[in-house]
Amino acid sequence: MTADFDAIVVGSGMTGGWAAKELTELGLRTLVLEAGRPIVPEQDYTEHKPPWEVPFRGLGDRRGVAARQSVQSHSASFDELSHVFWTDDADNPYSTPSDRPFYWFRARQVGGKSIIWARQVYRWSDLDFEANLRDGIAVDWPIRYADIAPWYDHVERFIGVSGQAEGLAHLPDGPFLPPMALNCVEQHVRQRIADKFGRTRVLTIGRVANLTAPHHGRAPCHYCGPCHRGCITRSYFSSVNATLPAAQATGRLTLRPFSIVRSLVYDAGKNRVTGVRMIDANSRVEREYSARLIFLCASALESARILLNSGLANSSGQVGRNIMDHIKWGGASGQFDGWTDRRTIGERPNGIYVPRFRNVSSRHPDFLRGYGFQGGADRAGWHAALRSPGIGPALKQRLTQLGPWSMSFAGFGEMLPREENRATLHPTLVDAWGIPSLHIECRWGENELAIHRDMNVAAAELLEAAGAKHSEPNTGGPSTPGGTNHEMGTARMGRDPKTSVLNGWNQSWDVPNLFVTDGAAMTSSGCQNPSLTYMALTARACHYAVEQLQRREL
């Protein structure tokens, strides 16, 4: 029997779009199954809708959120317009222990979370790939920077990354488009930090997948601001804006929205997956599609859920384990005298970045690994007047006055992999389509909490070096696990089939024609925003898989 397709890709987001592009360009007839709806940018993107055309002017549909999106609404990029790009919590339930909340953010539509991501892209280095081996934590990565570097190049050249080359060994540069501008206070802070810390602490402009020059037919950013509502000029990378159109152009892509994958079909005689079982989200009719090659790109926890529901690829017992996210909400902000005759104009969809500086060239006594700072400087506008005294012309005058310059540093810290942070199939809970859902147990460990505490210390040092007044540490405590939207690790790569799910090519140890290339594959979490690494791993795995197919090894 011939298969329906050469390859099936489950998911159409950050990594599914890349798998679709690479596999179709390499000649494979590829079916992409997306659980959610199709996206038509001209209809679905709302970034230019002015506030007065939005029912609650951006304050959000409070009742709708309480009823249907009480989890999703905690995401940083969830708002009254972008809420349509997040799932319905009532249809997509999951459970956690009552004392261990975990935010599971999901984006079911063509494009997935690539529509609402924060677009920050940072390479990893061997500081990260060697970390588990060096520290004796979990298992060693099966790859090193040299293995992935050409794929970082490959991905960055296609998606377009604006940034400043800094020559830091632990945050390698790429083929950057021109950097976005630091504003006057950020330039000052960069210089003062350089004066105090030399090259041990560096403030640079964020490396962001927003274009600053025309790129493969996509227009440069026009600084309107709310990228998470879409981008009609395709100025930031998403699979809708870039990879899926490239796959479509090959004539070998079949994209099927409203297709919820329940499980994989397995032929024990051949030890191969032969297809997927899916449910049409609207008609609820179930059907199967067959293919020679399967790529799971459904997001870390969804891909693990599919594997667990299939009872496959889990001889190691590691599927669903080692959940990681990045711990955040540590840091500080401070005010600056001066520059009162200066302001920013336009909305830069990007901030500053301070690459990791802990445990790089010296050893911190309190914790392993480290964190990076994101943030930026600006002046408060009319929002500061919402609660200020006065009425009449005096109040109106106050609305036009800008507050002092304020600069913030917000840390994003590495999380260590631990087996007990895990997702399991819930014994009874199912989603609206009857598919067993997950029970998620995840909490920060001592190392993450020590990192979080240190964020306040180091941010205060940076602000002091920069000459800030009224420096205030963040006092809100750490973020909720999952809340950074960087969940990963649930089908890790490794060197040993007994302790890892995937080999060094994102290939299942157990089932050779099955690949998992989303965040599930991550063996450690780094502290950098992870999507770039997911994309590079995906492109690399696609080329490997097609070579293996051609050699009839799969």
| Amino acid letter, 282 | N
Size of the site for another protein (CB under 8 A): 59
Paired with 406 in beta bridges are 335, 378
Q: Which of 37, 38, 41, 196 binds another protein (CB under 8 A)?
A: 41
Contact between 134 and another protein per CB under 8 A? no
246 vs 217: CA distance, rounded Å: 11
Nearer to another protein, 62 or 284 (CB): 62
491 in Cβ contact with 507 (< 8 Å): no
Cα–Cα distance for residue pair 190/519, rounded to 1 Å: 32
Q: Which stretch binds another protein (CB under 8 A): 60-68, 125-133, 428-436, 473-481?
A: 60-68
Q: By CB under 8 A, name the one of 67, 90, 380, 395 that touches another protein.
A: 395
Q: Does 343 bind another protein (CB under 8 A)?
A: yes
Alpha-carbon distance 234 to 231, whole Å?
A: 5
Among 149, 219, 265, 554, binds another protein (CB under 8 A): 219
CB of 214 to another protein, least distance (A): 9
Complex with another protein: residue 137 or 402, whichever CB lies closer: 402
C-alpha dist (Å) from residue 299 to 164, 414, 427, 462, 492: 30, 19, 22, 35, 13
Contact 154, 189 (CB under 8 A): no
Among 1, 146, 268, 391, binds another protein (CB under 8 A): 391
Task: Tell me which stretch binds another protein (CB under 8 A): 7-15, 123-131, 388-396, 540-548.
Answer: 388-396
Query: Rounded to 5 degrees, what angle do the CA atoms 369, 126, 420 make?
Result: 45
Could you say which of 1, 146, 285, 386 contacts another protein (CB under 8 A)?
A: 386
285 near another protein, rule: CB under 8 A? no
Instruction: Look up residue 356 and give its DSSP letter.
Output: -
Buried b (16+ CB within 10 A) or exposed e, 123-139: bbbebbbebbeeeebbb
Q: Which stretch binds another protein (CB under 8 A): 10-18, 327-335, 340-348, 484-492?
A: 340-348
How far is 318 from 83, CA to CA, in rounded Å?
Answer: 33
Contact status, residue 279 vs residue 8, Cβ threshold 8 Å:
no
- Name residue 330's beta-bridge partners: none
From 316-324, 399-407, 416-424, 491-499, give the range in contact with another protein by CB under 8 A.
399-407
Residues 223-242 that bind another protein (CB under 8 A): 223-225, 232-234
Q: Does 385 bind another protein (CB under 8 A)?
A: yes
Nearer to another protein, 349 or 478 (CB): 349
389 lies in the binding site for another protein (CB under 8 A): yes
Q: Can you state the angle between helices 14-25 and 531-550, rounded to 10 degrees?
A: 30
Quick note: the x/- pattern for another protein over 344-363, rule CB under 8 A, is xxxxx---------------
Burial bucket for residue 280 (CB in 10 Å: 0-12, 13-18, 19+): middle
Interaction residues for another protein, span 154-183 (CB under 8 A): 180-183
Q: Is 400 in the site for another protein (CB under 8 A)?
A: yes
Both tokens of residue 376?
């930026």
Rounded to the nearest 5°, which phi and psi values hold at 436? -55, 135
One of 2, 198, 283, 387 touching another protein (CB under 8 A): 387
Minimum CB distance to another protein, residue 477 (Å)? 23
Q: Is 384 in the site for another protein (CB under 8 A)?
A: no
| Residue 541 CB coordination number (10 Å) | 26
Residues within the interface to another protein (CB under 8 A): 41-42, 45, 48-53, 55-59, 61-63, 180-184, 186-187, 219-220, 222-225, 232-234, 339-348, 381-383, 385-387, 389-393, 395-396, 399-400, 402
